[in-house]
Chain A
Amino acid sequence: MEELVGKLEGILGEGEVLTDEISLASYSYDASGYIYRPEVVIRPGNIDELTEVVKVLMDYRVPITPRGAGTSLVGGPLPVNGGAVIDLQMLNEVLEVDEDQGIVQVEAGVKVAELNELIDGRFMPINPDGTGSSTIGGLAAEDAASPLSSVYGTVKDLILGMEVLLPNGDLVSLDGPVNRSRRNLIDLLIGSEGTLGIVTSVTLKLPTEPEERMAYEITFNDLMDAMSLAEEMEKAGIRQAAFEVYHNLGLVMGSAETEAVGYLEIMGPPECVNAWDSRIRELSNRVGVTSINPIDPYEADTIWKERAKIYEVAKATKSALKVGSFKVSPSSTRDFVQEVDRTSNRMKLKSISVINPLLGWVIAILLHKRSESKEVERAEKGMSEIVRISNNMESSMGYGLGVGINRISADIDEGFVQIYSAIKRSFDPYWLFNPGKLIERD
């Protein structure tokens, strides 16, 4: 270890190779609640340093866990097998900005808040934690989503090109404004959660702010009504910028009696939005919502971009959040949400499910007090149980947040594990790049 640290210090200079207890503890957590302590933390200042550091670590067969801002909810940047954590936040150069095309090339450590400042009138719609502190490298590695993914897709849909450092030390460049091979190899690396390579820079297209928008608060007595409304709106050709239904919100906040509260935003040219407005009211009546009221689109913005509702819950209940993210077919959404309820009841915890009906995206949140170690245990146990249930229900885990330490095993998706393991072995024969994430080692 001493010899290794000496070599690393030779590359980075003093102060950026950390082995003291306080530093190691500081890199042992993210926003997931899990704790895994690294043996060394390495903070390269540029891509050359990163490349050299990775070569040395590979020579010494040390597990390598890349880390951005540490906002993952699934333990993505935690070193479950020990070894080295590489903090990529100092790789934060903006390499290119094309204002006309809205295309930017930035290093992996650039944060969402900074992306929002790059071009007037354009923004980064994927801001999963709502604080703007996540790095683009982390978002690409996890293929992150946000409520606005209904129209903008996930990070994958914004990315035009990437540079990735592979376990063999090669820095490869994939695609860019033009994809010359017209094959989709880049999709193999987006969402690979650091298991195949370390994202060092990303080229992405930032969308423009919408011309006209309108937002609503809708209450439902039955979650299925929300599903029907989303379906009807889609059939009617209404462009849903975001639609999120908060199941149990009233219950947890001690207010409304309704089963669920939904927030909907539509966007487009003014003439469309106005026409859709009356259509939405008509459809709402037809599916039988309890109430529908317009809200200020800027208020809605805080829900999508700052995750205001979720933080309000944490603030009001003074709770920590154990979060799981799942994609469920529309027909089984209600069953799945009921299973979340059942599990949280069994664990004696309150829960909230945030459902995006259009995407079939369910975020299950178990509220717990972190000062009570038994509650923390029950929250972790409850989330594992929900993951197990989701596996039995033909749903997929990790949409928009990544899979992280939950891992996909062969009984969940045999074909995927078989092919991915083969790719993994050819990329990373010693299984050193972010081990313990995404898939079970075969």
Chain B
Amino acid sequence: MMLGEDLSFEVNRCISCGACNIVCPLFIVTGFQETAGPRARLRLLSMVNTGALEFSVEFLEYLYDCMSCGKCNEACPVELKISDLIVKVREFFIGQGYVPPFNIVQLPRKVKDSNSFFGDSQAKGVWLPPDFKPEKASILYYAGCWAQEYPEIPLSSFELIKRVEGNVTTLGYEEPCSGRILEMAGYSDVVEEIRPRLVERVREVSPEKVVSSCSVSVRAFKFMGLEATSLSNFLLEALRSGKIKLKQPIRLRKHKVSVIPSCQSEWEAKEIVEMVEGENFTELPDWACCDCGAVLSSLLDGSSFNKWAERVLKEAKERQVNVLVVEEPSCFGLITKYINENKVKGIKIIPLSQFILNRT
């Protein structure tokens, strides 16, 4: 038993029914390839555990080739938290001294050195004035890693929060990483090491509430005992209570809008875009959701994410969608990159915050 007693027991609790497969984005976009779905991850782990399948470099890489969306957690009839279990398995193998794929193994060092998995320590506050210093405020806006790549996201988000609450600050150039991506990669020990930095910085501004562009980070703030919410949840409440007022929309006949929400959200982004667009809004399938977990899979050879993006864009085109709103900054980044590399035409990708700001 390679996995040890507790993990072996959980992995073997899978009854192989396949309920997790039919909700898995990767299973669906690969044309239902068994290997891509959660059932195979568990069954193959169980084979590796008994020696029926060789534990190889390819297998370890395979354990990371997943969007970590968590859809399978909800689908299992015997309530196995499959996605969480896979994270525990990654953690276990790292603990045993096995080395994850190249780009994954770089993550801890990059995050430790630069507060971001991009590995550039001075870029995080690029959207702020050079002399920006965090101040005490009731709301803390957490921008996340992708702020440096797409400054329009933190700029529009910050502006919207300011309009709603007035008193808002952000951590700026030295915003620490929330550690969620490291957690998902199986580096929970590194997270413990770096989290005090985040706790300390947050304490300095002593906010009542954290609003995060990166929705998977919300969990990290809640873990610290803070009231925290995703930007989409914050915006939805502001729209409902009338704190954000929208311009009368221009109803163009050939204008169709859809949205890619965060998989781990309560689908707030969908509600927002529907509220704003009315009958110009059209829905994509459930599996067309994306959050920071996609970054992990894109750090491999990127082929899984590309398959997903290709299929999402195909579904959008079939529905005549020409504007696609993306909730998560990471997914906005990855999809934009895909569109540029593959020269996809006829569809405009826009971050959720920018989309709302344009309509106010």
Contact = CB atoms under 8 A, between A and B. Distances in A.
Given A22-B59, A25-B53, A35-B52, A131 B35 contact: no
A131 B5 CA distance: 29
A20 interface: yes
A71 B77 CA distance: 14
A253 B318 CA distance: 49
Contacts of A87: 32-34
A131 B77 contact: yes
Contacts of B22: 69, 111, 113, 131-133
B62 interface: yes
Nearest to A306: B77
A63 B1 CA distance: 33
Contact of A22 (B1, B11, B12, B35): B35
Interface string A366-380: 000111010000000
B126 interface: no
Interface residues of A, number: 43
A61 interface: no
A301 to B, nearest CB: 15
Interface stretch (B40-48, B228-236, B271-279): B40-48
Interface in B8-29: 8-9, 11-19, 21-22
A274 to B, nearest CB: 34
B15 A31 contact: yes
Contacts of A314: 15, 77-78
A70 B34 contact: yes
A311 B31 CA distance: 27
A30 interface: yes
A130 B8 CA distance: 26
B58 A21 contact: yes
Given A89-B32, A371-B8, A320 B43 contact: no
A21 B34 contact: no
Given A21-B53, A371-B8, A29 B77 contact: no
A111 B19 CA distance: 12
Interface of A is mostly: loop
B54 interface: yes
Interface string B144-179: 000000000000000000000000000000000000
A271 to B, nearest CB: 37
Contacts of A311: 15, 17, 77-78
B77 A26 contact: no
Nearest to B39: A70
- Which of B33, B40, B54, B56 is most buried by chain A, counting CB atoms within 10 A of its CB? B33
Among B14, B53, B54, chain A packs the most CB atoms within 10 A around the CB of B53
Nearest to B43: A29
A30 B56 contact: no
Given A89-B32, A371-B9, A133 B62 contact: no
Interface string A351-370: 00000000000000000011
A315 interface: yes
A320 B12 CA distance: 8
A373 B54 contact: no
Interface in A52-107: 69-71, 87, 89-90, 92
A174 B21 CA distance: 32
Contact of B18 (A45, A133, A318): A133
A370 B21 CA distance: 20
Contact of B78 (A23, A27, A35, A315): A315
Contacts of A202: none
A244 interface: no
Nearest to A18: B35
A156 B9 CA distance: 39
Interface string A20-49: 111101110111110100000001010000
Contacts of B15: 31, 311, 314, 320-321
B263 to A, nearest CB: 19
Contacts of A315: 77-79
B18 A26 contact: no
A33 B8 CA distance: 16
B106 interface: no
The interface centre, meaning the residue of A18, A31, A133, A373 with most chain B CB atoms within 10 A of its CB, is A133
Nearest to A308: B77
A25 B47 contact: yes
Contacts of B16: 29-33, 320
Given A26-B34, A29-B16, A320-B12, A21 B54 contact: yes
B50 interface: yes
Interface string B36-78: 0000100110110010111010110010000000000000011
A27 B78 CA distance: 22
B92 to A, nearest CB: 15
A334 to B, nearest CB: 28
Nearest to B78: A315
A133 B28 CA distance: 12
A109 interface: yes
A129 interface: yes
A113 B75 CA distance: 14
Contact of A71 (B18, B50, B58): B18
Contacts of A306: 77
B31 A45 contact: yes
A31 B15 CA distance: 7
Contacts of B50: 373
Contact of B44 (A22, A131, A132, A318): A22
A133 B21 contact: yes
Most chain B CB within 10 A, of A25, A113, A311, is at: A25
Contacts of B59: 22
Contacts of A33: 16
Given A23-B35, A109-B32, A371 B12 contact: yes
Contact of B31 (A30, A43, A318): A43
Contacts of B77: 130-131, 306-307, 311, 314-315
18 contacts: A21-B53, A21-B58, A25-B44, A26-B43, A31-B17, A31-B18, A43-B31, A69-B21, A71-B17, A90-B32, A111-B22, A131-B17, A132-B22, A307-B77, A315-B78, A318-B78, A369-B12, A371-B12
Interface of B: 1, 5, 8-9, 11-19, 21-22, 31-35, 40, 43-44, 46-47, 50, 52-54, 56, 58-59, 62, 77-79
Given A25-B43, A90-B32, 11 more contacts: A25-B53, A69-B21, A130-B77, A133-B18, A133-B19, A311-B17, A318-B9, A318-B78, A321-B15, A371-B1, A373-B50
Q: What 3 pairs between A and B have smallest CB-CB spacing? A: A89-B32, A370-B12, A131-B19
